[in-house]
Amino acid sequence: MATAIKIPAQLCQALLAADGILVLTGAGTSAESGVPTFRDAQTGLWEKFRPEDLATPQAFQADPENVWAWYQWRRELVLKARPNAGHLALASLQELLPGLMIVTQNVDGLHQRGGARQVIELHGNILRSVCSVTGRLISAEQLPADGPQPPPSPHHPAGLARPDVVWFGEALPAIALNQAMEAAERCDVCLSIGTSAMVEPAASLPRMAHFNGARVVEINPAGTPLAQIAHWSLSDTSATVLPALADSLKKLIAQSG
C-alpha cells in the first residue's frame, strides 16, 4: 500500500517549495520490474562469461556476433519488463513538480515507458542501436532480422550496429553528463533512488547538489555512503516510497488549495 511508509512533512514542503529537483535513479528502481542487474544477467548460455568480457569496445571488435547476441538476449528481458509502481509514481511527481528532472543510470527506458518526461540517460539505452564507427543512431527499420548479425551500419561502410550503451572504457555521453551536472548545481532538492551511490561519475551528483546547498534524500532499502550527508534517508524500495510520496504531496496540495 502507498501509505505503508511515513513520509516526513518537511520533505513534502521542501519539494513543493523547490524550483529545481534532481532525481538520480539506479538499478534498484528497475529490479522490481524484473530487470536483472548488470551482473545478475549472467544466466543460462551466458554463465561462463563475465559481464566485463562482453561490455567493452575490445570485446565487440574481437567477437561482434557474440556481444550482439548477448545484448539481443538482454533486450528481450527488458522488453518483457513493465514499469513498476515507482516508475509510475515518478511520472506523477513530474506532473506535480514541474521542476523535477530525472537522471538515470539505467538503460532500460522504463522511466519513459512509465510516462516520465525529461529523462537524462547517463549510460544510454539498450533498446537503441548506433553505428560502431560514427555513433549515429540506427532506426529499428534499418536493422534487418535476417542476414549477418550484428547488421552492417547504414552510416559507414566499415561500421556495424551496436547497442547504444556506455561500455567499460568509454566516456559517458558529454551532453547527458553536462545536463546532469548542471541540474545538480541548480537543484534545491536531490533524491538518490535505488543506487549504491558508489559508481562514478553519477555518485558525485548528489554530493555536488549537497555542496551547492540542496537538501539530499536517499531512498534505498540498504544504507549507502550517501546517508552521511542525506537530510532524509527512507529505507525502503522505490516502488513503496515513491507512491507514498506522491500521495502525500497530493494531499498537501489539496489541503492548501
Per residue in 6-50, pLDDT tens? 899 999 999 999 999 999 999 999 989 988 765 554 444 445 567
Give domain limits for the chain: 1-35+83-123+173-257, 39-80+129-165
Q: d(Cα 177, Cα 191) in Å, to the nearest integer? A: 17
Report in angstroms the alpha-carbon separations of 161 from 3, 63, 147: 46, 13, 13
- Spatial distance between the Cα atoms of 170 and 98, rounded to a whole number of angstroms: 33
Report the pLDDT value the prediction gives residue 35, as an integer from 0 to 100: 86
pLDDT attached to residue 114: 97
Looking at the whole model, is its pTM more than 0.95? no
Q: Which residues are CB-neighbours of 98 under 8 A, at least 6 positions away? A: none
- From first to last of the 257 residues of the chain, give the pLDDT tens digit: 444 688 999 999 999 999 999 999 999 999 899 887 655 544 444 455 676 778 899 999 999 999 999 999 889 989 999 999 999 999 999 999 999 999 999 999 999 999 999 899 999 999 999 999 999 999 999 998 788 899 999 999 999 999 999 998 999 999 999 999 999 999 999 999 999 887 889 999 999 999 999 999 999 998 888 989 999 999 999 999 999 999 999 999 998 76
Query: How far is it, in rounded angstroms, from Cα 191 to Cα 99?
Result: 13
Pairing relationship of beta strands 124-131 and 137-138 according to DSSP bridges: antiparallel
- Residue 201: which H helix or E strand, with range? none
CATH annotation of 39-80+129-165:
3.30.1600.10
- pLDDT of the residue at 251: 93
Let me know: does 149 contact 66? Beta carbons within 8 Å.
no
Catalytic residue among 123, 156, 210, 231: 123
123 is known as an active-site residue: yes
Phi-psi region of 135 (alpha: psi -120 to 50; beta: other; left: phi over 0): left
What per-residue confidence (pLDDT) applies to 199? Answer: 82
Residue 30, all three cell numbers: 528497475
Bridge partners of 103, per DSSP, are 24, 120
The pLDDT value recorded for residue 38 is 57
Grid cell digits, residue 209: 547538489
Give the CATH architecture of domain 1-35+83-123+173-257. 3-Layer(aba) Sandwich (3.40)
